[in-house]
Amino acid sequence: MTVPEYTIYYLEIVTPDIEAACKLYGHAYGWQFEPKGPEWGGSVVAKLPGGSLCGIRAPLHEQENPVVRTYLRVTDIDSAVQEAEKLGATIALPPMEMPGAGKIAIYLFGGIEQGLWQVP
């Protein structure tokens, strides 16, 4: 099955209380979380119905606030980032490699954080 571009691939939840968040989403939706490697920032990840993923992790540094961020699936992350910039977005995280998982990027537009994910 081919997944259309610009569909939600990954839902990232950043919270200081990973255990409570996993308990909530596990109980409410039946999601089962499993730890990922350090390249995922200490995330625990659940596969959702339909093939998307949800990852929950703690802030990576003191200045990172709790946030819920969606990552849209793209076929060409460099072009998608350029298009976002052209439309006025600020790039918060330029495209970077996620070993074995593709490339990600984050931009800000209108105060909202949006992620992009190029899946291999």
| Identity of the residue numbered 60 | L
**What was the pLDDT predicted at 2?**
61
Q: What is the pLDDT of residue 27?
A: 97
Q: Over the stretch 55-109, which tens digit does the pLDDT of each residue have? A: 999 999 999 999 999 999 999 999 999 999 999 999 999 999 998 899 999 999 9
Domain spans in the chain, listed from the N-terminal domain onward: 8-118
Q: Is the dihedral of CA 114, 7, 11, 75 positive or negative?
A: negative
**Taking residues 40-47, what's their average pLDDT?**
94
pLDDT exceeds cutoff 90 at 5: no
**What pLDDT does residue 18 have?**
97
Domain 8-118: state its class.
alpha beta
